[in-house]
Homo-oligomer: A and B are copies of this chain.
Amino acid sequence: MNDNFTDEEKKGFYKAIYSRRDVRSHFTSEPISDNTLTKILHAAHHAPSVGFSQPWNFVLIKDNNTKKIIKESFQIEHRHASELVDEKRKSDYLSFKLEGIMESPINICVTYDPTKFGPFVIGRTSIPEAGMYSVCCAIQNLWLAARTEGIGLGWVSILSNDVLKRQLGLPEHVIPVAYLCLGHVSNFETKPDLERAGWLPRLELKDVVYYEKWEQKEDSNWKKIEQLIKTNLDTLK
């Protein structure tokens, strides 16, 4: 494998980054092939991990009984959440489709096991959360690989982890990090659902970049990039 990326290879990579969506609708009945699902899991397993601890597991789910129990948990948690929304935004909130548990053929629970390879993990001694961060990197690999294979993926975080742990038989020390719904879709939206609906705006890159210190938006050593970040970035896609 040559170290450098050709323009074509870069194009493929950035297409995955910019066309990936959080998918809750448009699932079709076409099953995910075993070959495709294996490729996606393989990409996830090649994420970075602190101290090479590979602390993730992937529980593959298509059992309808499990899906129903998770869907019920979503409904309870979703109702609780709706009580927290401002009154004037509540009808908008309730109009959003926030999960595709039953419609997607395959659900995957991605878990974090902090005991894998024993208590000492290189790089996890000062910041124990680093193990959890590795699992999230694997989830992002999985998500991007799914997009590349034409598979829609939705992350459902409105559910009770206690219900999930009980249903999947997770040991006490294992943490469910993500509950993902995967399937072929009729199309991918060009923008995130909540951006299209006007719920929140896309921040500009200049709003999230600081120089040397928190909230420092200017610095004499970073003049050129400041200008670039402020100008039209979509040409870089």
- Residue among B8, B123, B133, B171 making CB contact with A139, cutoff 8 Å: B133
Give the secondary structure class of A's interface.
mixed
- Residue among B6, B11, B144, B168 making CB contact with A214, cutoff 8 Å: B168
- Residue among B14, B43, B160, B203 making CB contact with A17, cutoff 8 Å: B43
A56 within 8 A of B: yes
A interface residues with partner B (beta carbon < 8 Å)? 1, 3-6, 8-20, 22, 34-35, 37-39, 41-43, 45-48, 50-54, 56-63, 66, 77, 80-81, 84-86, 93, 96, 98, 111, 117, 120, 122-127, 129-130, 132-133, 136-137, 139-141, 143-145, 148-150, 155, 157-161, 168-171, 174, 177-178, 187-188, 190, 192, 194-195, 199-200, 202-203, 205, 208-215, 221-222, 224-225, 228-229, 233, 236-237
Assess A62 versus B13: contact at CB under 8 Å? Given A5-B150, A41-B205: no
B13 touches A157 (CB 8 A): no
Give CA–CA (A53, B208) in the complex, Å: 12
Which residues from chain B contact A123 at a C-beta distance below 8 Å? 98, 157-158
Give CA–CA (A9, B34) in the complex, Å: 21
| Copy total for this chain | 2
Which residues from chain B contact A141 at a C-beta distance below 8 Å? 17, 140
B52 touches A195 (CB 8 A): yes
A194 touches B122 (CB 8 A): yes
A224 touches B140 (CB 8 A): no
Give CA–CA (A52, B12) in the complex, Å: 24
- Residue among B10, B38, B47 making CB contact with A233, cutoff 8 Å: B38
- Residue among B98, B187, B190, B222 making CB contact with A60, cutoff 8 Å: B222
Residue of B nearest to A63 (CB): B212
Give CA–CA (A200, B116) in the complex, Å: 11
